[in-house]
């Protein structure tokens, strides 16, 4: 019973993780860059919904588009003002560069919003729960899971069915060939950053319904996203979806196992350790990702 419950909760979290990781894998696929600041886009997405709720009394659910728009703008601004220049340098400089961006946004948030932990306490779904048979779901988590799934599906559709999306896919398969075909790499990069920022910003907007917003919240989620992206195979959209689910389930189910066998070392504190270890083991054993899918 405990396990079935953890499984269901894990799936809901996993859907959200998939949405968080989606942008990272799209960006990686198109331009082969790992964006450390990804978690900070999430953080700012969380804050945008939080402030909209506090100042304008907009319900967090209705304010969701705000977080997506904030994310898109952040993504575009980062790309045009910074990442573009970073691309000329070696890989190591790119890593440090996005790390610098991450620090910058963290402390920018600290400066503006202070280090306080903030949580939304009123909203349509906040604090309400739904019981189905023996299971009890928080409405906020249920909404997060379902809306994540929808958002993921929309992006998936965009990438596979529209012309721009196909061009994006072509770029991530082979940059040179794509540019010969007349696809403008620069524009594709910008679109990738817009998608990346938008999806993760929206994920932040969903997350803030049941999780604290604070300036350093991003690092936790960026590590989860790294794990998902690696598990799914860097750049693979389908891969990251299932990897997100898997990580969500792992994260929920391990503490339960720990509880069942009475072990402290599988306690809730270690749920992220499990994620890091999973990443480490899987990239060492199967560097092509868990499923070996290439997009």
Which residue ranges make up the site for another protein (CB under 8 A)?
28, 34, 82, 85-86, 89-97, 99-104, 106-111, 114-115, 215, 219, 223, 226-227, 230, 234, 264, 267, 269-270, 272-273, 276-277, 279-280, 283-284, 287
| Nearest-approach distance from CB 88 to another protein, in angstroms | 8
Q: CA angle at residue 155 from 151 to 159, to 5 degrees?
A: 170
Nearer to another protein, 11 or 110 (CB): 110
| Nearest-approach distance from CB 150 to another protein, in angstroms | 29
Nearer to another protein, 114 or 129 (CB): 114
Q: Please classify residue 192 by burial: count the beta carbons closer than 10 Å to its beta carbon, then call 0-12 exposed, 13-18 middle and 19+ buried.
A: buried
| Nearest-approach distance from CB 142 to another protein, in angstroms | 29
DSSP reduced 3-state for 89: coil
Nearer to another protein, 21 or 148 (CB): 21
Beta-carbon contacts of residue 156 (< 8 Å; ≥ 6 apart): 237
Instruction: Give the separation between CA 32 and CA 25, rounded to whole angstroms.
Output: 9
Beta-carbon contacts of residue 230 (< 8 Å; ≥ 6 apart): 243, 279, 282, 283, 289
- Tokens encoding 54: 């506090």
Classify the C-alpha dihedral 130-135-140-144 as positive or negative.
negative
DSSP string, 247-265: HHHHHHHHHHHHHHHT-GG
Nearer to another protein, 109 or 178 (CB): 109
Tell me the β-bridge partners of 136.
Answer: 131
Establish how many alpha carbons lie within 13 A of residue 247's alpha carbon, considering only the half-sphere containing its beta carbon: 35
| Nearest-approach distance from CB 122 to another protein, in angstroms | 28
Classify the C-alpha dihedral 169-175-176-180 as positive or negative.
positive
| Nearest-approach distance from CB 17 to another protein, in angstroms | 16
Nearer to another protein, 140 or 295 (CB): 295
Instruction: Give the separation between CA 157 and CA 138, rounded to whole angstroms.
Output: 29
| Nearest-approach distance from CB 110 to another protein, in angstroms | 4
- Tokens encoding 55: 């100042």
| Nearest-approach distance from CB 23 to another protein, in angstroms | 16
Nearer to another protein, 17 or 226 (CB): 226
Nearer to another protein, 104 or 157 (CB): 104
């Amino acid at each position: 019973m405990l396990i079935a419950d953890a499984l269901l909760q894990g799936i809901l979290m996993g859907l959200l993780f998939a949405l968080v990781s989606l942008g990272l894998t799209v960006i990686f696929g198109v331009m082969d860059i790992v964006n450390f600041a990804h978690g900070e886009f999430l953080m700012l997405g969380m804050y945008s919904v939080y402030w909209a709720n506090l100042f304008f009394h907009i319900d967090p659910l209705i304010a969701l588009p705000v977080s997506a728009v904030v994310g898109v703008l952040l993504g575009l601004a980062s790309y045009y003002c910074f990442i573009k220049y970073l691309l000329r340098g070696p890989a190591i400089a790119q890593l440090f560069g996005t790390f610098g961006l991450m620090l910058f946004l963290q402390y920018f948030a600290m400066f503006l919003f202070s280090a306080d932990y903030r949580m939304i306490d009123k909203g349509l779904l906040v604090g309400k729960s739904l019981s189905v048979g023996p299971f009890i779901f928080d409405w906020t988590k249920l909404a997060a899971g379902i809306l994540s799934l929808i958002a993921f599906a929309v992006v998936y559709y965009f990438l596979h069915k529209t012309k721009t999306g196909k061009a994006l896919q072509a770029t991530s398969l082979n940059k040179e060939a794509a540019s010969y075909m007349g696809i403008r790499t620069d524009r594709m990069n910008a679109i990738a950053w817009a998608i990346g920022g938008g999806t993760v910003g929206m994920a932040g907007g969903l997350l803030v319904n049941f999780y604290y917003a604070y300036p350093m919240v991003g690092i936790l989620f960026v590590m989860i996203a790294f794990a998902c992206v690696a598990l799914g195979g860097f750049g693979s959209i389908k891969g990251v979806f299932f990897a997100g689910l898997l990580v969500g389930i792992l994260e929920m189910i391990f503490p339960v196992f720990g509880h069942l066998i009475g072990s402290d070392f599988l306690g809730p504190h270690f749920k992220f350790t499990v994620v890091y270890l999973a990443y480490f083991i899987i990239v060492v054993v199967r560097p092509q990702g868990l499923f070996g899918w290439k997009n």
